[in-house]
């Protein structure tokens, strides 16, 4: 029988701890497939965040770091500066990257740090049980915005891709989504493009991946996919936000 789908050899044979229907697993697979297809397994070094993906170092069968909350871009900077030939990436949630680690990601991008950030935007703090994130939508209910996010009280959600694309050091920035197969395929292309950007030394790259957190959104996996499509994409439009030809351009 022909094999139509197989697990990436780069993903360890362990059960994921992610909730059923969570898109973190898909994002992991895409990252692993891209590394394999680019034949960079021996040179890939990942930095896991603090968040639901904290155990990512168990799942990627490559050299890995686990960083302090929000600091993955700084850790990746240290790792990359020592071994510039390695493919160094961070894998970060929205609380990690856009809140506590806002300074680190902005300055990694501003420096044109030749690393790739895989940014999982699920509009919530998943790991700690569903608190408001910097990316939580206006009106979205979370455990710390029980009546829905009120912008008069706590401002508006942060559009990371748009913000970082204003920085000259950012070489490739794209926002993608995992809500259906065509978009998953597009997401994979974006990740590969980001890795290629790094491999050709062009500078900082980031792929923002709109993701679901069915558990803390209080929705079934299928409902969560629908909610992402109907609510997140209008506020977080998909597309390429930055594509530089070379670092100095």
Partner 1 sequence: MAKVLMKGNEAVAEAAIQAGCRFFFGYPITPQNQIPEYMSRRLPEVGGTFLQAESEISAINMVYGAAGAGARVMTSSSSPGISLKQEGISYIACAELPCVIVNMVRSGPGLGGILPTQGDYFQSVKGGGHGDYRLVVYAPNSVQEAADCVMQAFDVSDQYRVPALILGDGMIGQMMEPVEFRTPKKRDLPEKTWAATGYDGTKQRAVINSLYIEAEAMNAVCTRLQQVYRQIEQNEIQYEEYMMDDAEICIVAYGTTSRIAKNAIGQARASLGIRAGLIRPITLWPFPSKAISDAAGQCSAFVAVEMSAGQMVEDVRLALDGKRPVSFVGTLGGIIPTPAMIIDELKAIKEAMS
Ligand X SMILES: Cc1ncc(C[n+]2csc(CCOP(=O)(O)OP(=O)(O)O)c2C)c(N)n1
The footprint of Mg ion (CB under 5 A) covers 93-94, 122, 126
Residue closest to ligand X when measured from CB atoms: 93
Token reading at 22: 């969570």
Strand extents, DSSP E, the chain: 44-48, 63-66, 87-93, 116-121, 170-177, 204-210, 239-243
Measured CA to CA in angstroms, residue 34 lies from 79, 119, 145, 154 at distances of 20, 16, 37, 38
**β 44-48/204-210 pair status:** unpaired
Which of 23, 31, 32, 51 forms a contact with ligand X (CB under 6 A)?
A: 51
Segment lying near ligand X (by CB under 6 A), choices 27-35, 57-65, 91-99, 152-160 = 91-99
Q: Which is nearer to partner 1, 55 or 156 (CB)?
A: 55
Counting contacts by CB under 6 A, is residue 190 touching ligand X?
Answer: no
* Least distance CB 70 / partner 1 (angstroms): 9
Counting contacts by CB under 6 A, is residue 171 touching ligand X?
Answer: no
Spatial distance between the Cα atoms of 46 and 185, rounded to a whole number of angstroms: 22
Q: Which is nearer to partner 1, 33 or 174 (CB)?
A: 33
* Least distance CB 5 / Mg ion (angstroms): 27
Counting contacts by CB under 8 A, is residue 68 touching partner 1?
Answer: yes
Which of 31, 44, 48, 50 forms a contact with ligand X (CB under 6 A)?
A: 50
Counting contacts by CB under 8 A, is residue 196 touching partner 1?
Answer: no
Counting contacts by CB under 8 A, is residue 243 touching partner 1?
Answer: no
Spatial distance between the Cα atoms of 183 and 227, rounded to a whole number of angstroms: 15
Spatial distance between the Cα atoms of 207 and 187, rounded to a whole number of angstroms: 8
Spatial distance between the Cα atoms of 61 and 9, rounded to a whole number of angstroms: 8
Beta-carbon-side half-sphere exposure of residue 22 (alpha carbons within 13 Å): 20
Spatial distance between the Cα atoms of 18 and 80, rounded to a whole number of angstroms: 29
In the range 100-139, which residues lie near ligand X by CB under 6 A? 120, 122, 124-128, 133
Segment lying near partner 1 (by CB under 8 A), choices 41-49, 146-154, 190-198, 226-234 = 41-49
Spatial distance between the Cα atoms of 197 and 116, rounded to a whole number of angstroms: 9
Q: Which residues contribute to the site for ligand X (CB under 6 A)?
A: 50-53, 69, 93-96, 120, 122, 124-128, 133
């Amino acid at each position: 029988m022909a094999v139509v789908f197989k697990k990436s050899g780069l993903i360890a044979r362990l059960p994921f701890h992610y909730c059923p229907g969570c898109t973190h697993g898909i994002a992991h697979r895409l990252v692993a497939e891209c590394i394999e297809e680019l034949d960079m397994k021996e040179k890939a070094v990942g930095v896991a965040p603090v968040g639901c993906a904290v155990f990512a170092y168990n799942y990627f069968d490559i050299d890995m770091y686990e960083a302090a909350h929000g600091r993955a871009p700084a850790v990746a900077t240290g790792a990359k500066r020592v071994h510039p030939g390695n493919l160094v990436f961070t894998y970060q949630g929205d609380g990690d990257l856009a809140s506590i680690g806002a300074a680190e990601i902005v300055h990694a991008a501003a420096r044109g740090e030749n690393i790739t950030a895989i940014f999982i935007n699920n509009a919530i703090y998943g790991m700690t049980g569903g608190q408001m994130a910097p990316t939580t939508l206006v009106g979205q209910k979370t455990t710390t915005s029980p009546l829905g996010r009120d912008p008069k009280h706590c401002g508006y959600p942060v559009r990371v891709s748009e913000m970082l694309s204003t920085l000259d050091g950012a070489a490739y920035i794209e926002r993608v989504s995992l809500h259906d197969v065509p978009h998953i395929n597009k997401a994979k292309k974006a990740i590969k493009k980001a890795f290629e950007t790094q491999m050709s030394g062009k500078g900082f790259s980031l792929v923002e991946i709109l993701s679901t957190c069915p558990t803390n959104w209080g929705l079934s996996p299928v409902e969560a996919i629908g909610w992402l499509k109907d609510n997140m994409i209008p506020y977080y439009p998909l597309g390429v936000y930055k594509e530089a030809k070379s670092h100095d351009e």
